[in-house]
Amino acid sequence: MTQVTESTISFPYKRSLGAVIGAFLSGLADQRILGIRSGARIVCPPLEWDPETGAELNHDELIEVGPIGTVASWSWVSAPTEQHPLDHPFAFALIRLDGADTTLVHVVDAGSITAMATGMRVAPRWNEHRVGHITDIAAFIPGEVPIVSAHTGPKDPVTMMDYNASITYRTPITENVVRAERATAEGRFLGLRCPVCARTYTGGKGYCPIDTIELTTADEVDLPHAGVVTNYTIITPIQYPGQTETEPFARVHILLDESDVILGYQGLIDVPNDEIRIGMHVAAVWASEGEMGSGDSWNDSNLVGWMPTGEPDLDDPTLVNRIN
C-alpha cells in the first residue's frame, strides 16, 4: 500500500472591515441581517460598490432584510470534510432573503437531500456565541421560524476580522522516496544512477528525466557526505503566529563531491550570513547516536546541517549555474 504524507499550509491574516461590512457583521452578532440599497435594488450581503455600475454605495442606506428567505438554487454535500461548516450532510444554497433582490450563500441543514428543494422557505439558526462573523448564522433550516439565542453578542461594533485560511493536501510517498528518506535517517545520502546516461539523482525520483527510464534498487548508490556551495539565499523571517525564526538565516545549494547531485535549501551551522561564499567546501553533520531519531518513521532525518571543512574555496564561475 502506498504511503501518504499530509501537509497543511495556513495563512493567518487580519483585515479591517470598513463601514459597510463592519455594520453587516455587527448586525449578525445582534441576530440581524442587513442589506444595502443600490438604486432600486437591495443587495445582501451588502457591498461597498454597486456590482453593476461600480458606484460607491452609501453605508447610511443599510436596511434590515429577512431573516426568512427562499432557496434559489442549491448543491448537496454528502461527505463533508473538516473544511466544511457542518460535520454531517448539508446543502450549500443561494438564499434570497425577504426584502432583498440578490442572494446570500449559506448552508441549509435540511437533514436529507430529499428535504431540499428550489423555492423552499428557510430561516436562520443563530449561534449561541456570536462574534460578528458569517458563521453567527450556524445554518439555515427549513421553515419560517428562526432559532434565536438568548445570548448577546459583542457590545462593541465589529471593525476587524481575523481569518486563518488553510489548505490540507496529501501526497503519495513512493517506495523510492521511502528508501531515500530512510537512508538519510541512517546517516546516508542515497542516490540513483541512470545506467544509460550515468547521471545521478537523489530525493527518490525513481526515474531518469533525460532517458525517461525507471530506476530501481539495482541503480542505487551511496553519495558523498561533502560538497561545495553553488548558490545561497538569505531569508529574513516574517513574523506570523507559530514563526520560530527571529533572525535572518541562510539556505544553500550544495553540489556533492564527485557527482552531479545538488542538494537544495540546506542549512549551515555556525556560519554567519556575511561569511557564506559560493565555492565554500562543506561537509554533512549528522546527529550523534544519542540524538538520533528512532528511525521508525520513513522521514526521520538525522541530518543536522552542514559545516565548512576549511579547504580553500573552489574557484569555478560556472557554480552559480548549478541550482538543480
Indicate the range of 164-168, 226-230, 261-265 predicted with least confidence: 164-168
| Residue 63 reports pLDDT greater than 90 | yes
pLDDT score for 33? 97
Query: Can you give the residue ranges of every domain in the chain?
Result: 3-167, 174-321
Q: 298 falls in which pLDDT band (50, 70, 90)?
A: very low
pLDDT score for 2? 65
pLDDT score for 151? 85
Give dist(CA 33, CA 64) in Å, integer.
6
pLDDT score for 10? 80
pLDDT score for 194? 92
Average pLDDT value for residue range 288-317: 78
| Residue 293 reports pLDDT greater than 60 | no
Q: What is the pLDDT of residues 84-123, one digit of tens each?
A: 999 999 999 999 999 999 999 999 999 999 999 999 999 9
| Residue 158 reports pLDDT greater than 80 | yes
Q: 195 falls in which pLDDT band (50, 70, 90)?
A: very high
Return the C-alpha cell found at 177. 522516496
The neighbour count for residue 75, using CB atoms within 10 Å, is 9
Average pLDDT value for residue range 41-52: 92
User: CA geometry: angle at 129 spanning 127 and 132, to 5°?
Assistant: 85
Return the C-alpha cell found at 59. 453605508
pLDDT score for 300? 57
Average pLDDT value for residue range 6-14: 83
Among candidate residues 106, 149, 104, 155, the one with its CA nearest the CA of residue 128: 149
Q: What are phi and psi of 113, to 5 degrees?
A: -65, -30
Among candidate residues 290, 292, 237, 230, the one with its CA nearest the CA of residue 263: 230
CB burial readout 25-61, b (16+ within 10 A) else e: bbbbbbbebbbbebeeebbbbbbeeeeeeeeebebee
Long-range contacts of residues 190-199, Cβ cutoff 8 Å, at least 24 apart = 190/220, 190/221, 190/222, 190/223, 191/220, 191/221, 191/222, 191/223, 191/259, 191/261, 192/219, 192/220, 192/221, 193/219, 193/220, 193/221, 194/219, 195/219, 199/260
Average pLDDT value for residue range 277-286: 96
- Contact between 168 and 137 under an 8 Å Cβ cutoff? The reply is no
Q: What is the pLDDT of residues 233-257, one digit of tens each?
A: 999 988 776 777 888 999 999 999 9
Q: 180 falls in which pLDDT band (50, 70, 90)?
A: confident
* Cα Rg of the chain (Å, integer): 29
| Residue 162 reports pLDDT greater than 90 | no
Among candidate residues 156, 153, 155, 160, the one with its CA nearest the CA of residue 29: 153
